[in-house]
Each structure stands twice: as structure tokens, then as C-alpha cells.
Amino acid sequence: MENGAVYNETTEPQAKPSRRAFSCTLRHLRGWRLPAKVIQAILSLVAVICEEIVEDCIKCGGLYFFEFTSCSAFLLSILILCVYCTNAYETFGEDKVQRV
């Protein structure tokens, strides 16, 4: 009798948990963290919109810097919300998410 035959009869493959492509979960952003990230995304989007309203400026260096920082804050806050509120957190692993 082969060793493989014994193990084939007694073991069953583990069922993989079903994953939906865009499942949403709030277990990684609990308490005050979720409302804080949502407010951050909304305020940074408002900042981008307000910056785009300005038509004329004399010295535009500060305005361009504000545009860059507000747009970067908006994109990064949306990225954080997407990673922590979808199954991407489990897909990448906690150590890789924390490193990034």
C-alpha cells in the first residue's frame, strides 16, 4: 500500500472562502478612523474644486503647490479607503499594507 493512497482517502482539500470581486467591509476602519478618512477625502476634493475656480492670479506658485497637495491628499485618501474597505487588505496582507 502506498503512502499517497492512504492520504488521498482520508484527507479532503480545504474549501477556499468565496470572494466577491468588490466586496466591501468596514472591519479594518473602526471607530473614528472611517469618518475621519471620509471627511479627509471630502475636504480635499472641496479644496481641489475651490482651486480650480480661481481664474486669475498674480503669483501662481503657491496656488500650484496648493493644487498639487490637495489633489495628492484626495487621491491618497481615496486609495486608503479603497484598500481598507475592500478585500484588497486581505489580498495583499497586513504586512505589505503597513509597509506601503
Residue with grid cell 470581486, as numbered in its chain: 21
What is the count of structural domains for the chain? 1
CA 85, CA 79: separation in Å to the nearest integer? 10
Q: What's the pLDDT tens digit per position in 47-66?
A: 999 988 988 888 889 999 99
pLDDT at 99: 81
Question: Does residue 35 belong to any structural domain of this protein?
Answer: yes
Residues 44 and 69: beta-carbon distance below 8 Å: no
pLDDT at 73: 92
Both ends of the chain: CA-CA distance in Å?
51
What angle is formed at CA 82 by the lines to CA 77 and CA 86, rounded to 5 degrees? 150
C-alpha cell at 10: 482520508
Question: Does residue 14 belong to any structural domain of this protein?
Answer: no
Question: Of 17-26, 67-76, 79-88, where does mean pLDDT reach its minimum?
Answer: 17-26
Question: Does residue 8 belong to any structural domain of this protein?
Answer: no
* Residue 24 or residue 83, greater confidence: 83
Question: Does residue 63 belong to any structural domain of this protein?
Answer: yes
pLDDT band at 16 (very low <50, low <70, confident <90, very high): low
Question: Does residue 7 belong to any structural domain of this protein?
Answer: no
The range of the structural domain enclosing residue 65 comes to: 24-98
pLDDT at 81: 86
Question: Does residue 1 belong to any structural domain of this protein?
Answer: no
